[in-house]
Structure 1
Amino acid sequence: MTQRAVRGPLGVAVIGTGRMGADHVRRIDRVVSGARVTAVADVDAERVKAVADRVDGCTPYTDPAAALAAPDVDAVVVASPGPAHEAVLSAALARGLPVLCEKPLTPDAASALRVMEAEQRTGRRLVQVGFMRRYDREYLDLKALLDGGSLGRPLMLHHRHRNADSPPWFTNEMLVNDSVVHEMDITRWLLGQEITAVTVLRPRPSGNAPGGLDDPQFVVFETDGGALADVEIYVNCRFGYQVQAEAVCENGTARVGDASGMRVDTAGRWGGGIAAGFMERFEAAYDRQVQAWVDATRRGEVTGPSCWDGYAAAAVCEAGVRAQAEGRRVEVELAPRPALYR
């Protein structure tokens, strides 16, 4: 069964109007073609009204269910906190509404599995998970290179994920669930392999790390295709936001994420700019992701990361948090992959 195509602009409800949700409202209203924001929902009545007032024809709601039921809503963007995702996704699936859901799909594997099972009962894919790195131009180029086979079989991936600083409430578990989750997904996507085990190693913490946060950490993935991937996660590096990946293959290597903007040589020094944060670094990827979702939804299709990808990421996160806490290698437990996602 396929979903219906949409004639005219896609009417989108954005659930959650915090930093990410408000940015998606701006993106759909001003950047993306073929869609308009017709509803926004948030428990914060003042905030949701302020966001709605900036968009012509947009109605604010404090109840997500009411926004989903609005007659001018054809599809949904979920940008609320992770614990609220399952309820919104379940309601959207019950109405047959296509969804772009910011990661995580849900905060744990059990609830992600429930969402995946609910989608299967509809008989078609309706949910895309917002792993935006898959839409970054450099990662797309690396994926095409690896799939082309000119470098031979990928043997290892080296990832570096650095933030200038972290909020005081950031925890060790969040290093895995909120940060390294991106490397989990991009590793699976680049290699076309599932992650089977996780090990987390911790050096002596940086003096820049807030009390109680073991930062940086070193995470190692094993895959069912025999590859290894490592992640340096360092969220208090102080110098900016930096994401890099290097693939080591049988016949060569390829790396993305190096600063490719203008280099300046002056006064005995050379250098360039480093992004301040993830939204600046991946702004074009977010734009490309949402445009692709809108275009596919209007055609009656879902083409991006699936509920299976969201579930797999949640399962790897759980293994990663256990490996982190117990100081040992932990195997990933995955349910059989349903036919809908093959």
Structure 2
Amino acid sequence: MTKQGTLGVAVIGTGRMGADHVRRITDVTSGARVAAVVDIDAERANHLAGRIDGCTAYSDPAAAMTAPEVDAVLIASPGPAHEAALLRAFEHDLPVLCEKPLTPDATSALRVMEAEQKLGHRRVSVGFMRRYDAEYLKLKALLDGGRFGRTLMLHCRHRNVSTPPGFTNQMTINDSVVHEIDTTRWLLDQEITAVTVLRPTPSTAAPEALSDPQLVLFETSGGAVVDVEIFVNCGFGYQVQCEAVGESGSARIGDGHHMVTNSAGRWGGEIDQDFVSRFADAYDREVQRWVDATRRGETEGPSVWDGYAAAAVCEAGVRAQTTGERTATTLVERPALYR
């Protein structure tokens, strides 16, 4: 049903990402307000809610979802908590924007997919924000238009300044390369059929036991090949780049051509230091489009199928990372709801 008036959103998880979404809905997004915040850290939730008129703090997602002022849910809690929150939202038939990952593994993602199918309609949009980035949108339109013929290869770079304590090799796939997994599937409209991971001698800046950088190779159902340089302790900045090579031309995004300065005999610019600044506009666009679609009574954007497919490819990637062997990806048949 079309939602008249302002959409009341419950934000589940008030850490860095959740707090940023609270700010975004309050200060940037039109047609919505933060009606509730949920966190197991009651003090943090109360502090955040106290700064927003008409916002109530909860420690239990289920309690927030039964509140009459809540019309939709934005999930920004840690991945292992997503499944329970999603299933609870389905019980109330609430629209959901769920930050990636949908769930931490393919098996739990399948359970979510089965539950959504029982509703008979889509309710979840998964937060793969690159699909809303202006540069990625231009590249997608170019490839869909067929100007350069069939896309043969994608060359991707994904660099972070540094990693937090406890960052593991598995996390390079599950937390970082997962974005290239989704953008590959989206840009090419193909599934990833196999993954290979090559691990050169680690950088001296890599923490102990972390292979950094790595080169991840995807093969796709349409015969394309994709390479991803993942370098999570590069030290100098946050960079996400993608070059599509077609039969008769190529296109590259992510070079970061911001303002260039000339001073003291030098020219140069700035490099983003994290994903929050690099993709700020994409997050704004993502949330606004989710709100607009929800108020129209629609669900758009990356689906539960996309979240499941990404989880399945991540699992193949971690196996390839561990064994050093090319690893095939296994997907169930795509249900009609997601075609």
Question: Normalized against structure 2, the TM-score is what?
Answer: 0.99
Residue of structure 1 equivalent to 2:224:
227
- Identity among equivalent pairs (%): 71
Q: Which residue of 2 aligns with 1:245?
A: 242
Q: Say which of 205, 210, 215 aligns to 2:202.
A: 205
Give the corresponding residue for 1:266: 263
Asked if 1:325 corresponds to 2:322, the answer is yes
Map 1:128-147 onto structure 2 (within 5 A): 128-147=125-144
1:300 aligns with 2:263: no
**Gaps in structure 1 of 5+ consecutive residues:** none
2:11 equivalent to 1:11 = no
Shift in Å, 1:5: 1.2
For 1:97 and 1:151, how far apart are their aligned partners in 2?
A: 42
Paired amino acid for 1:71: P
Q: Verify: 1:290 aligned to 2:287, yes or no.
A: yes
Residue from 78, 83, 90 that aligns with 1:81: 78
Aligned to 2:37, the other structure's residue is in SS state strand
Distance in 2 of aligned mates of 1:54 and 1:114: 37
Deviations 1:70-101 (Å, cap 9, x if unpaired)?
Answer: 11100000000000000000000111000000
Give the number of aligned pairs. Answer: 339
Task: For residue 266 of structure 1, report the CA deviation from its aligned partner.
Answer: 3.0
Distance in 2 between residues matched to 1:210 and 1:53, nearest whole Å: 40
Q: Following TM superposition, by how much is the alpha carbon of 1:132 offset from its aligned partner in structure 2, in angstroms?
A: 0.2
Give the counterpart letter for 1:93 in structure 2: F
Q: Per-residue CA shift, 1:244-296, capped at 9, x if unaligned?
A: 00000001010000112111233332211100100000000000000000000
> What is the match of residue 108 of structure 1?
105
Give the match for residue 30 of structure 2. Answer: 33
CA–CA separation in structure 2 for the residues paired with 1:168 and 1:41: 26
Report what 2:332 is aligned to. 335
SS of corresponding position for 1:230: strand
Q: C-alpha displacement at 1:232, in angstroms?
A: 0.3
Q: Does 1:118 align with 2:122?
A: no
In the alignment, the residues of structure 1 paired with residue 33 and residue 153 of structure 2 have an alpha-carbon distance, to the nearest angstrom, of 42
Amino acid in structure 1 at the alignment position of 2:285: R
CA distance in 2: counterparts of 1:268 and 1:169, whole angstroms: 42
TM-score (norm 1): 0.98
